[in-house]
Amino acid sequence: MLWRSLCRTEFRYWDSKHHIGQKFRGNVGDVDWKTLYLFRKNVEFRTISILDSILDVQVDRIEKFERIAEFGYDAKETLVQQCHTPGTIEDVLARRFYANAVLDHIHRSRALEEWWSLATGDQVPLERALGAFDLFVLHDQPGDLLEFFDELVDHLRIEFPNIETGSTRHKALAAVKFLRRHNLTGIANEICYRDLQNNYIGIALRDPDHPSLPLISVAIYCAIANRLGLDARPCGMPNHVHAMVFPPVGETLDGRPSTHESDDCGPIYLDPYQLDKEVPVDNLQSMLESWGISPIDSSHYLIDTSVGNIVLRTSRNILATVHEFRGHGGAMGDTGHPTIRLYANPFADMDNAFYSALWANFMLSSPLPSVDANSRRQFVPLLLERFERLYPMDASLIEKYICPPFNNSDNPEYWDLHEALRVVRAADSTPKQLRLRNVPGVRERVKYKVGQVFRHKRYGYMAVITGWDVECGMNSDWMAHNQIDSLSRGRHQSFYHALVEDTSMRYVAEENVEIMEPEMPVSLMSLAGRYFKRWDKGRHIFISNIRDEYPED
């Protein structure tokens, strides 16, 4: 009993291989709880040990990420704790950043497993398939959607105590009334329609405002209705997804035996995004006609659509929001343009959202394992660009999911994929070149140090210095494109690598650096752990965690 109690109280997250729910429901003697508990403590120890190694040196980090990821959700408990490292710890920013990064990698692995199952023909519930998008932006937040839906259904049964004895129509309407009554679907303000957070089923459930696009509202409804024993499916209406609920075979929507073709055998149509009552088919046909769809063709849109199609529609909604946000210069606040309000740095979450949409399109835009030149192939260079720039720790995911369909040297993607993987893994396994400051020719020419925060004199963004060169180290094409020789001090001044608050990396001439000493650079704090241990409030500088490369900064 003691070991079982320790397993239950000390560990919230368990990898699926344990079937822990089934074990907790079974007899105590059926499981060796002591061995299981000691196994989890060993995972905890090894996870912290590997994470410490990631923080210590900038070498073999990909391999270390993969070693922790092998533990699956058994490592999540420890990683979440490390994400909340107290601010008094010496390497707090680095520890939080890399714990989050490893956790994000594990979440992405799980998300891609869901989409891979869907793409290869398995039956994946709609809420799980859409919940995979949440995993790309979840970070250290709770994420058990299935448990949340079960709790909602329990509340619904309390509010509608006779629901189990009702007809299909009665149950279907009770479910939509429950969701609308508790503001669990829809959006409070249509001005916010395109905001990124409205695309996430997990955020819709947990956010106090429960914001969701029609598609997500329908997914929430279907998840609830199906748990009530109904046959609820999304309807593939263009522009505005609806829900459909079918009666059992041989019954009408009102529970009577079906004896004639004219009987009301359904389905019933619902719009949980904005209504708590049935939507007449005539209304839907009129809507389609207003969009230029003839009555003859309307039947093609009044049928259920696949889970894969709904995932793809969600990915396109995400891409549309990201493109519009970028098109308006990434303006934050109440501007009338889409906002990015998820869990972490808005620009980092935008990158994660965009990455998820690319993966969804790659996996689901055509049947696997075929190579479709007009659909999946176009996403390979986009995924590779982000892999090389932002997600090198996902090398194993590229190898597992993208390489196999192109595993033929006749495919041009074959060479691009293998070269990208080779370059990324080689760079990760190679020790950094030592950059000494206190030597002749450097001391006099490099004015600023790693960790100093600055404002770009011309473009106005805030950034932190992550490295330096004695003079411009880029090639002649780059210098010509950026008109380096037109600068007052030209190419023969020191240049600085810099991490910008929008997550980008820039290369900045010394004459454009205006050093700042903020009390705390809030917009950089969640990003800085990639290179720095902590923020020194007294010196107004980030403390370097890349001393294996810049030991004197």
Residues 135 and 234 occupy one common structural domain: yes
Q: How many other C-beta atoms can be found within 10 angstroms of the C-beta atom of residue 434?
A: 10
**Residue where one domain finishes, among candidates 332, 364, 396:** 364
> What CATH number is given to the structural domain containing 480?
2.30.30
- Alpha carbon distances (Å) from 137 to 238, 317, 435, 501: 27, 16, 35, 18
Q: What is the 3-state secondary structure (H, E, C) of 402-468?
A: HCHHHCCCCCHHHHHHHHHHHHHHHHHHCCCCCCCCCCCCCCCCCCCCCCCEEEECCCCCEEEEEEE
pLDDT digits (tens, 9 = 90+) for 354-390: 999 999 999 998 766 555 555 788 899 999 999 999 9
> Per-residue pLDDT for 102 more than 80?
yes
My answer on whether 105 and 29 are in the same domain is yes
pLDDT for position 334: 43
Mean pLDDT along residues 157-169: 93
For residue 341, pLDDT over 70 is answered with: no
Asked whether residue 92 falls in the same domain as residue 171, the answer is no
Chain segment 478-522, per-residue pLDDT in tens: 999 999 999 999 999 999 999 999 999 999 999 999 999 999 999
Q: What is the pLDDT of residues 274-327, one digit of tens each?
A: 999 999 999 999 889 888 888 888 888 999 999 999 999 999 999 998 888 877
The Cα–Cα gap between 24 and 39 comes to 17
Say yes or no: 338 and 205 in one domain: yes
Decide which of 38 and 328 is more confident: 38
Q: What is the pLDDT of residue 146?
A: 78
pLDDT at residue number 409 = 82
Q: Rounded to an integer, what distance in angstroms lies between the CA atom of residue 396 and that of residue 335?
A: 40
Residue 328 within a domain: yes
pLDDT at 335 over 60: no
Kindly report the average pLDDT of the chain as a whole number. 91
Q: What is the reported pLDDT for 337? A: 46
Helix (H) or strand (E) holding 287: helix 281-290
514 and 463 in a single domain? The answer is yes
161 band by pLDDT with thresholds 50, 70 and 90: very high
Residue, of 140 and 40, whose pLDDT is higher: 40
Same domain for 93 and 155, yes or no, is no
Domain that holds residue 343: 124-364
Residue 295 lies in a domain: yes
Reply yes or no on whether the pLDDT at 339 is more than 60.
Answer: no
Same domain (yes/no): 105, 141: no
Give me the amino acid identity at 487: L
Q: Are 513 and 454 in contact (CB under 8 A)?
A: yes
Rounded mean pLDDT of 167-187?
Answer: 95
- In a domain, residue 549? The reply is no
Residues of the chain above pLDDT 70, percent: 95
pLDDT tens track for 61-90: 999 999 999 999 999 999 999 999 999 999
Please check whether residue 30 lies inside any domain of the structure: yes
How many other C-beta atoms lie within 10 A of the C-beta of residue 120?
A: 11
Is residue 106 located within the same domain as residue 211?
A: no
Whether residue 9 is contained in a domain is answered as: yes
Burial class of 233 by CB neighbour count within 10 A (0 to 12, 13 to 18, 19+): buried
pLDDT of residue 263: 60
pLDDT for residue 333? 47
350 close to 325: Cβ distance less than 8 angstroms: yes
* Same domain flag for 182 and 312: yes
Residues 234 and 349 in one domain: yes
Task: Count how many domains the chain has.
Answer: 3
Share of the chain above pLDDT 90, in %: 76
pLDDT in tens, 221-274: 999 999 999 999 999 899 899 999 999 988 889 888 887 665 667 799 999 999
pLDDT at 336: 47
**Model confidence over 448-479: pLDDT tens digits?**
999 999 999 999 999 999 999 999 999 999 99
Of 40-49, 402-411, 416-425, the poorest mean pLDDT is in 402-411
Query: DSSP states of 45-113 as a string?
Result: HHHHHHHHHHHH-SSSHHHHHHHHHTTGGGGHHHHHHHHT--TTSTTHHHHHHHHHHHHHHHHHHHHHH
**189 and 307: one domain?**
yes
The pLDDT of 331-336, averaged and rounded, is 47
Residues 176 and 323 both lie in one domain: yes
Q: Is position 413 within any domain?
A: no
Answer with the one of 63, 96, 122 that is the final residue of a domain. Answer: 122
Phi-psi category of residue 31: left, alpha or beta, with phi > 0 → left and psi -120 to 50 → alpha: beta
Residue finishing a domain among 85, 101, 122: 122
Task: Report how far residue 48's alpha carbon sits from residue 50's, in angstroms, rounded to the nearest whole number.
Answer: 6
In a domain, 320, yes or no: yes
Decide if 390 is inside a domain. Answer: no
